[in-house]
Amino acid sequence: MTCSRFTAIIGYADVAYFHIPTPISDRARSIVPLYQRAKFQCCKIIDQFEILTKLESYFSIRNTMVYSYFILKDTPILLLVLLLAVQVATVDASYKDGMSLAEAVYDRDSPKDSSAKVEMLLSKNGSLKKRRLLFSYGLDKGASERLTLMRFVQPKSVDGTGLLSKDYLGDDNDQWLYLPSLDRVRRISSKRKGGRFVGSEFFYEDLRDREVNMDDHILLGDGNSGKVSCLLLQSTPVKKSNSIYSKRVSCIHPKILIPLWTEFYKKKASPIKRLKAKRIKKVQGYWTIYESTMTNLKTGSATQLITREILYNQKIPETLFTQRGLEEESQELPYRPRALSEASEKK
């Protein structure tokens, strides 16, 4: 397509817009973001500066409309297909830098509360060593305040063991561990960020909420997780003291904004751990990771988390996320997924 041909199409569409039915014009308006994002790449492909100039002036004059009646014409359909291909093949321009992507990931649509039944598998070099079953509860209070309670129920050696985490705005957070064998609650020191949680490959820090402004974020470009394309995001702690990691590199799905994998570094050039998501489903309108594995890249040990049941927005009370709730397992029983599912079936 030549520049003169393209210019003629733009001019024709400009006039034709005012003579097309409302449904068509609404359809036309819907592709404004597509043209705005793709105009530079389009110019590179066709290699004609005149197209860029025409598009730039075109959108600056009437940037609230799109004169795309020409999408019904044969030749312009070719242009639309080209622009769609460009959009897929390039980094999503919605994220101008690492910070904007990190904010989008942190602020993605999420439930008010959650209740899940999770299986934890501990292995070494592919060989299963231990199997554990736990329930996890979460409550999002807003303003970066999030509460989490985890309770192990199998095997007997860890039955009743619980972890309560409270994350507040800024660096403040609290964690308590309940050990039924001692019948006592013990506070986890913030200095134990690198401690392994019940012998798994998850550190206590991995179970805490981490706000966007705690790190400097850099958008590295395009990456992939298998055959799935992603955006590579590097996150480095602003304060070295508030993380055991020197940096994290994540592969973010550009549409659902979930990390497909994250690599964790400790000063060295090679990562020490990798967290990978394997199954992602939409539950009650929310994208949910059903299976993830944290692998120690030095030892070959791995911890796999498999969600067996999950429910959102069950109006879990804040009283569950207290030291009393941590000690008294009976308080959480009505909110376990199976109990709720059975209750729904009876109704």
Q: Give yes or no: residues 219 and 270 share one domain.
A: yes
Residue 247 is assigned to a structural domain of this protein: yes
pLDDT tier for residue 92 given thresholds of 50, 70 and 90: low
How large a percentage of the chain has pLDDT more than 70?
69
With the C-alpha atoms ordered 204, 206, 212, 215, is the resulting torsion angle positive or negative? positive
Q: What pLDDT shows up at residue 343?
A: 45
For the chain, the C-alpha Rg in angstroms (whole number) is: 26
What pLDDT score was predicted for residue 192? 67
Q: Are residues 233 and 152 in the same domain?
A: yes
Residue 126 maps to a domain: yes
Higher-confidence residue of 213 and 14: namely: 213
Q: Is residue 86 part of a domain?
A: yes
Mean per-residue pLDDT of the chain:
78
224: pLDDT strictly greater than 70: yes
Mean pLDDT, rounded, for 181-209: 86
Within a domain: residue 156? yes
Do residues 254 and 324 share a domain?
A: yes
pLDDT-derived band at 94 (thresholds 50, 70, 90) equals confident
Task: Find where tokens 């070494």 sit.
Answer: 124
Q: Which of 90, 124, 144 is the last residue of a domain?
A: 90
Query: Do 56 and 197 reside in the same domain of the chain?
Result: no
**Based on the domain organization, do 51 and 136 belong to the same domain?**
no
Give the DSSP letter of residue 66.
Answer: -
In the prediction, which pLDDT does 93 show?
Answer: 59
Q: What amino acid occupies position 115?
A: S
Cα 327-333-336 angle, rounded to 5 deg = 120
- Tell me if 100 is assigned to some domain: no
Q: What is the pLDDT of residues 273-309, one digit of tens each?
A: 999 999 999 999 999 999 999 999 999 999 999 999 9
Is 97 a member of any domain?
A: no
Residues 57 and 119 in one domain: no
Cα angle 202, 158, 132; round to 5: 60
Task: Give alpha helix (H) positions in 47-154.
Answer: 49-61, 74-89, 98-106
**What is the Cα–Cα distance from 327 to 164, expressed in whole angstroms?**
10
160 and 257 in a single domain? The answer is yes
Residue 238 in 3-state DSSP?
coil
Structure tokens at 195: 């401690």
226 pLDDT above the threshold of 70:
yes
Question: Do 263 and 133 fall into the same domain?
Answer: yes
Supply the pTM of this predicted model. Answer: 0.70
Residues spanned by the domain of 40: 3-90
User: Does the structure show a pLDDT above 70 at 65?
Assistant: no
pLDDT of residue 208: 86
CATH number where 294 lies? 2.50.20.10
- Residue 137 CA to residue 149 CA, distance in Å, equals 5
What value does the mean pLDDT take over residues 247-263? 97
What is the pLDDT averaged over residues 327-339? 89
> What confidence score (pLDDT) does residue 191 get?
66
| 96-136 pLDDT tens trace | 899 999 999 999 999 999 999 999 999 999 999 999 999 99
- pLDDT above 60 for 257: yes
Number of structural domains in the chain: 2
Task: Please check the confidence at residue 10 and state whether its pLDDT lies above 50.
Answer: no
251 and 203 part of one domain: yes
| pLDDT of 13 over the 60 cut | no
Q: Looking at residue 194, what is its pLDDT?
A: 73
| DSSP 8-class letter at 83 | H
Percent of the chain with pLDDT over 90: 59
Regarding whether 66 and 109 lie in a shared domain, the answer is no
Q: Of 35, 61, 90, which residue sits at a domain end? A: 90
Least confident residue range of 29-38, 142-151, 306-315: 29-38
Task: Please report, in angstroms and rounded to a whole number, the separation of the first and last CA atoms in the chain.
Answer: 64
Please tell me whether residues 184 and 319 are part of one structural domain: yes
Cβ contacts of 338 within 8 Å, gap of 6 or more: 117, 309
Within this chain, do residues 208 and 288 fall inside the same structural domain, yes or no? Answer: yes
Position 254 in a domain? yes
Looking at the DSSP bridge assignments, the partners of residue 167 are 146, 173
**Distant-in-sequence, close-in-space partners of 258: CB < 8 Å, separation ≥ 6:** 105, 108, 252, 277, 280, 287, 289
